[in-house]
């Protein structure tokens, strides 16, 4: 009997991935269905529905689900969900598809049919619909009015650009997932299904597990956040994104090496588990923090570490908006429909020369001139430009791995700085 937090939705892990004879039969059937090309984001969403990471979702959202998620953080049946999981289709692909049809979802990059889908609804997404979604999902305290938001969002917010560039038709319906893509091979030992992480935690006897979200190389601030979590929970799950990022972000295989070096050299290994998940970043700040907590609950984590500017981009969000949003969630008479994974809220952390160690705004009384403000964006910019890093910015083993990566890059990508990265915000 597991003592871990139950999966989200009250239905256990809802896994849409087929196996064995059922898989082979569905693959054969898929070859005769109309193929609809999918974008990388939808591929990651499909895999998460396949392995139970998106429990209780078993397909792409209807218009009613989309509306409820945007307006109230809830699916049409009242289950908490923070970000739309929708499938857009080109006009060419959508033409001729009606409710009741079965289609094959095709990944053109991997040249693979990822899933079959029973279409239950086809609905239009006008420009007004897309703008509504962007304002609900991506607009934060950094741009408190729609006018301010749209002045910069179309050019500077990758999540907004992704939504506005989507096709004008969405398809909804349950899926049968046929593949986990390249992840089980390319990230063997790191990529995990929720049932696998839960077994590891159970075998360790853990009950309270904290998750650390990573899309940047693990620097001293991340290390400190993890160590705080280890002190107050049974263990920590360092769970990094191995899907797609925006240009200039460091690829997953490099980040995995950095985490491994830190775990080996600076942690009691029995208290830490490293894993990876296949989603693309949406850069939705507070809303994405909620999504991170939702699927970490499925992976067996009862706490989600939420620090400064979680899942943020630029200056779109308040520094701790991803913490306060957890205090504003809808309630339900059915606990299974509520988000049960709670935030582990931690203040801005840094190295302080006068404290002679890692500290936070809650514990350090000294001034900015005494602090080494640790930011993944700052780290990437300095390394990409070959600049020397300040003492205590990162562990030597990690910096060595990152320098080797940047020295091998022939094309330079400009990395924009913002208030959160420079310590000015």
Rounded to whole angstroms, the Cα distance separating 76 from 68 reads 6
Rounded to whole angstroms, how far apart are CA atoms 157 and 152? 8
User: Which among 215, 220, 255, 287 is annotated as catalytic?
Assistant: 215
Q: Which two tokens stand for residue 259?
A: 């985490």
| 247-253 contacts at long range (C-beta below 8 A, 24 or more positions apart) | 247/413, 248/380, 248/384, 248/413, 248/414, 248/415, 249/215, 249/216, 249/380, 250/216, 250/217, 250/380, 250/402, 250/405, 251/405, 252/187, 252/276, 253/186, 253/187
170 in catalytic set: no
Catalytic residue among 41, 170, 198, 216: 216
Beta bridge partners of 344: 305
- C-alpha span between 190 and 109 (Å, rounded): 22
> What CA–CA distance (Å, rounded) separates 169 from 96?
12
CB 406 within 8 A of CB 384: yes
Q: Is 215 a catalytic residue?
A: yes
Q: Pseudo-torsion of CA 279, 58, 343, 347, nearest 10°?
A: 20
Cβ-Cβ contacts under 8 Å for 129 (sequence gap 6 or more): none
Active site residues: 215-216
């Amino acid at each position: 009997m597991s003592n871990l937090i139950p999966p989200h939705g009250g239905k256990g892990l809802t896994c849409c991935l087929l196996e064995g004879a059922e898989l082979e039969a569905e693959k054969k059937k898929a070859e005769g269905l109309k193929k609809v090309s999918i974008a990388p984001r939808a591929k990651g969403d499909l895999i998460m529905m396949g392995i139970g990471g998106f429990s209780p979702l078993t397909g792409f959202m209807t218009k009613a689900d989309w509306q409820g998620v945007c307006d109230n953080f809830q699916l049409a049946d009242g289950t908490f969900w923070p970000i739309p999981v929708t499938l857009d289709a080109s006009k060419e692909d959508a033409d001729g598809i009606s409710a009741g049809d079965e289609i094959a979802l095709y990944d053109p990059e991997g040249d693979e049919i990822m899933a079959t889908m029973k279409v239950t609804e086809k609905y239009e997404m006008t420009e007004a619909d897309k703008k509504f979604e962007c304002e609900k999902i991506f607009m934060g305290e950094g741009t408190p009015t729609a006018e301010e938001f749209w002045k910069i969002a179309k050019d500077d917010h990758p999540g907004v650009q992704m939504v506005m560039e989507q096709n004008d038709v969405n398809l909804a319906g349950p899926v049968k997932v046929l593949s986990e893509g390249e992840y089980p091979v390319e990230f063997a030992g790191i990529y995990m299904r929720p049932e696998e992480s839960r077994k590891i935690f159970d075998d360790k006897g853990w009950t309270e597990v904290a998750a650390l979200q990573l899309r940047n190389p693990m620097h001293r601030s991340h290390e400190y956040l993890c160590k705080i979590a280890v002190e107050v929970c049974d263990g920590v799950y360092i769970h990094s994104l191995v899907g797609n990022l925006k240009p200039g972000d460091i690829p997953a295989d490099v980040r995995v090496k950095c985490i491994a070096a830190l775990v080996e050299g600076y942690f009691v290994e029995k208290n830490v588990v490293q894993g990876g998940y296949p989603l693309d970043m949406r850069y939705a700040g507070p809303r994405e923090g909620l999504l991170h907590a939702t699927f970490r609950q499925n992976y067996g984590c009862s706490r989600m570490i939420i620090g400064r500017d979680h899942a943020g981009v630029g200056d779109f969000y308040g520094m701790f908006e991803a913490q306060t949003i957890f205090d504003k969630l809808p309630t339900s008479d059915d606990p299974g429909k509520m988000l049960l994974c709670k935030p582990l809220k931690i203040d801005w952390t840094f190295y302080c020369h006068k404290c002679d160690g890692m500290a936070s705004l809650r514990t350090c009384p000294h001034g900015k001139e005494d602090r080494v403000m640790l930011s993944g964006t700052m780290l990437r910019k300095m390394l990409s430009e070959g600049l020397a890093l300040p003492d205590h910015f990162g562990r030597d083993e990690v910096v060595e791995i990152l320098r080797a990566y940047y020295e091998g890059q022939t094309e330079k990508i400009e990395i924009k700085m913002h208030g959160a990265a420079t310590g000015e915000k």
